[in-house]
Amino acid sequence: MNTLLEVSGVSVSFDGFRAINNLSFHMGAAELRAVIGPNGAGKTTFMDIVTGKTRPDKGTIRWGEKGISLLGLSEARIAREGVGRKFQKPTVFEDQTVRANLLVALRNRRGPFAALWWKPKPAELERVDALAETIGLAAHLDRKSGELSHGQKQWLEIGMLLAQEPKLLLVDEPAAGMTVAEREKTTAILVEAAKTRAVVVVEHDMEFVRRLNCRVTVLHEGSVLAEGSLDHVTSNKDVIDVYLGR
């Protein structure tokens, strides 16, 4: 398996508190991974480090075939290298249609003015149709995004990220606030996306993680406590102790 992301021995402290402690994490080029852990385990900080928002005090982060260092690159540069991140709250342009949102998001076509003055090429419209199909919004392309359900907005935002063709997609609690049917669709979207790129899903909902049916990394106190299938990690005594607060 080709390694896409290799985080080694990374630590970061905030005012003397070690939020990430000698963390190592490897990710293949086309892999789906769930990251779980109790509150304060370091999940958000881990994503902040990969995207360049937070700078580690020590350790290395290697990226891609050439193993370039992500440390020292700006957040914008890391995004251009192919790291996409989806936050919990969807941030779509509510007064624009689903199609316009996806068009704006297409690679090299970023910024709101692009959608206003630029006439999309047939290939771009085709790409938008394909993306809408992937995220289950093909029948909603002409609707204003503000009219979509919470789940549909989340899918649209995933579609907007996919439009930029990230090599790694970091997704924060995608299932929060979704209905059961929406969760199932979200699982399918993420599983499909991970066939051609790396996808890391941070999630609290164990049922959702089970449906993802992927390798799971358990974080605790800023380090990897256990890694493997969900059944493997949830039968680990240390994991049980941490989750039951013993």
Ligand X SMILES: Nc1ncnc2c1ncn2[C@@H]1O[C@H](COP(=O)(O)OP(=O)(O)OP(=O)(O)O)[C@@H](O)[C@H]1O
One-letter amino acid identity for 8? S
x/- string (CB under 6 A) for ligand X, residues 56-75?
Answer: --------------------
Span near ligand X by CB under 6 A; candidates 39-47, 148-156, 178-186, 188-196: 39-47
Please pick, from the candidates 39, 122, 244, 245, the single residue that binds ligand X as defined by CB under 6 A: 39
The C-alpha atoms of residue 222 and residue 102 are separated, in whole angstroms, by 36
Interaction of residue 136 with ligand X, rule CB under 6 A: no
Interaction of residue 127 with ligand X, rule CB under 6 A: no
Task: Indicate the residue among 98 and 226 with the shorter CB distance to ligand X.
Answer: 226
Please pick, from the candidates 45, 97, 145, 154, the single residue that binds ligand X as defined by CB under 6 A: 45
Q: Could you tell me the smallest distance in angstroms from the CB atom of residue 51 to ligand X?
A: 13
Q: Are 183 and 173 in contact (CB under 8 A)?
A: no
Return the half-sphere exposure (C-beta side, CA atoms, 13 A cut-off) of residue 43: 23
Nearest to 194, CA basis, from 46, 27, 69, 47 = 27
Task: Indicate the residue among 44 and 236 with the shorter CB distance to ligand X.
Answer: 44
Please pick, from the candidates 23, 41, 70, 170, the single residue that binds ligand X as defined by CB under 6 A: 41
The C-alpha atoms of residue 196 and residue 200 are separated, in whole angstroms, by 13
Q: Are 189 and 136 in contact (CB under 8 A)?
A: yes
The C-alpha atoms of residue 159 and residue 13 are separated, in whole angstroms, by 34
Applying CB under 6 A, the residues found at the interface with ligand X are 14, 17, 19, 37, 39-45
